[in-house]
Every structure is written in structure tokens, then in C-alpha cells.
Structure 1
């Protein structure tokens, strides 16, 4: 299990990803001044291991995850899904994932071919902007963490758009 926790009192969207023992596994450095909402994921020693950025020209919110410099997935929000969020996690090859969840409860599952490979929960944690992420063995945790960050960025964009209306 991983816990993605936003750092309080930090400049920008910086998150730490902790394991089940509370040890920092990754640091997520959000480049909030970046037009593309770029996020850099570093390992515990500060080396970049993955990036996430938003595509500027896309019909729906689309984020690209790169792991080790290689494109690992595109995360796209599906259109017209009232009261539920649905995202496609398009990976190279035939093994795409789908992330779906409840807007109000902040509970999400990530599935491959109808089988759950990860669960994301924000509801049971009392700390603001904190997610618990359970990843099935054999699934790249960086892919799942990147997808959760894409979800968070997309929901934040939607919230900001709603505030402007």
C-alpha cells in the first residue's frame, strides 16, 4: 500500500508517496507554474524516475505518463459520465486499464479486463488531499501513482473551472 500525501505549507503541488511503514518512497514535485501541469516523480534519493504532463490540445483532459524517459501511458478522462469519474489508462499494447470511481466518495478502482489491479481511497483518510493506494503485485506502482496524480490534476482543473463559472 502507498499513501500519497500533499505537503502542507509547501510552495507548489509537492507530494510525498509513503509505503505502508511511513517511509518515503517517492517525492512528487509539481511544476505549478508550468502551463502543461508537469509533475516530476523522484525516487527517495532524488533521481527522476517518471514524469506526468497534460496535453494542451485535447478534447478531454489527457495526461501522459513517462517512466524512465519512455511513454508508459496516456490517461484520458471519459466524457459524459454523470456522478462517476471514468478514465482510460492507455498503455502501449493491448493491456489498457480503466479507472472509475465516485465523485462524492473519492473511492476509485483501476481494472484491467474487468479485474481490479489497484484501489484508491480518499474517503477514509482525514487529511486533506491524501490518497491511499493499494496496488496488486505485478503491476507497476509508478504507473498507478502517475494515474492517481492525473486523476487529482483533472479533478482540480474541473473544480477550478467550476469556481470560475
Structure 2
């Protein structure tokens, strides 16, 4: 596979800024996590601090839905597929016909992203010895920013689901 990026796991729980690194440890993007806790929006910046993309949660959607904007333009919506028993699946709905699917063990960062059944990216913690970090490996020809934003949106959706589950368990106990 082509390029690899490294993302620190559980960034959303901390709510602070963090860097997305390439496989050489060079900062490629900076993610502003503080904005998400305030405005349900992640801001992705280049190393010079220029905003290059955003991930924004739709508040009035029936299922988890996140809008990705790259360069100010809507690039995709990441949505949970309905009726996928025993396995979570998310769709990366891009304008036109090239929708992508995220499937596998989404919660544990062991999944692939496919376009028409062909794997275009893989996400894994197993490749790394660095704690609390996972890798996103892309085939060449894939928009890395779209994939990275989609992975971040999925993280946010999974964290929200875990929080809802924990809250329900606490409510059931009381």
C-alpha cells in the first residue's frame, strides 16, 4: 500500500489539539479538538496553521452523520448504515458515484475502506508499537485528506456511541 499516517487514539476524550504524522514522524496536519467540544466541529489545519478541512456533526440526523468540507467545499458525508446486524458499517457518501464503505472492527481501529469492493485504505493498531496510536495506510491515487477526515468522523461517532451506552448503563443501575 502507499502512504501511511499516524493518528493518536482517543483524541476526542481529551479534547485538545493533536498532530497527524506521516510514517517518518513529520507533522502533516494539526487537528483542533477543542472546537469539537464547543461547536461539534473538528478543524484540520496544514502545518502552517491554515484551515484545510472540517468535520462537522449533523445534530438533526436519524443516524450518526458527519459532513466533511475540504477547502470550504462539501466533500463527503460519513453516515452509519442502517440495518447492519452484528457489524458496524459506515458509508463515505461523496458527490457523484464513488461512495466508499468502512467495514471491519471499527471500534478497535481494525478496518478497511473500500471503493466498489476494492480496498483503498486500511486502518490498524497492530502495525504499531506506539501506544494509543493507530495507522491509516492509503493506496496511491486516494485523497488522503478525505480518508483522514472520514477516519476522524468515524472515531467521533464511535466515541459518541460508547458514551451513550455508558450513560444508559449508569441510568439502568440507578
> TM-score, length-normalised on structure 2?
0.85
> Which runs of no fewer than 5 residues in structure 1 stay unpaired?
none
1:82 positional shift: 3.6
Distance in 2 (alpha carbons) for counterparts of 1:164 and 1:123: 30
Question: Is 1:134 the counterpart of 2:137 in the alignment?
Answer: yes
Report the structure, 1 or 2, having the larger strand content: 1
Call closer, same or farther: CA 1:157–1:76 in 2, change over 3 Å.
Answer: same
Secondary structure in 2 matching 1:34: helix
Match of 2:172?
none
Distance in 2 (alpha carbons) for counterparts of 1:151 and 1:13: 18
1:13 positional shift: 3.9
> Which runs of no fewer than 5 residues in structure 2 stay unpaired?
169-174
Bigger relative contact order (CA 8 A; separation at least 6): 2
Report the structure, 1 or 2, having the larger helix content: 2
Q: Is the 8 A contact 1:3 1:132 kept in 2?
A: yes
Secondary structure in 1 matching 2:147: helix
Secondary structure in 2 matching 1:33: helix
Match of 1:96?
99
> TM-score, length-normalised on structure 1?
0.90
1:14 positional shift: 2.4
Distance in 2 (alpha carbons) for counterparts of 1:29 and 1:53: 12
* 1:1-165 mapped onto 2 (5 Å cutoff): 1-5=4-8, 12-30=15-33, 31-35=35-39, 37-103=40-106, 105-125=108-128, 126-128=130-132, 130-165=133-168
How many residues are paired up?
162
1:81 positional shift: 2.6
Q: Is the 8 A contact 2:89 2:103 kept in 1?
A: yes
Q: Deviations over 1:96-149 (max 9, x none)?
A: 100111156431100000000000113444522x22000111111000000000
Q: Where do 4+ consecutive residues of structure 1 move more than 3 Å?
A: 123-126
Q: Is the 8 A contact 1:5 1:131 kept in 2?
A: yes
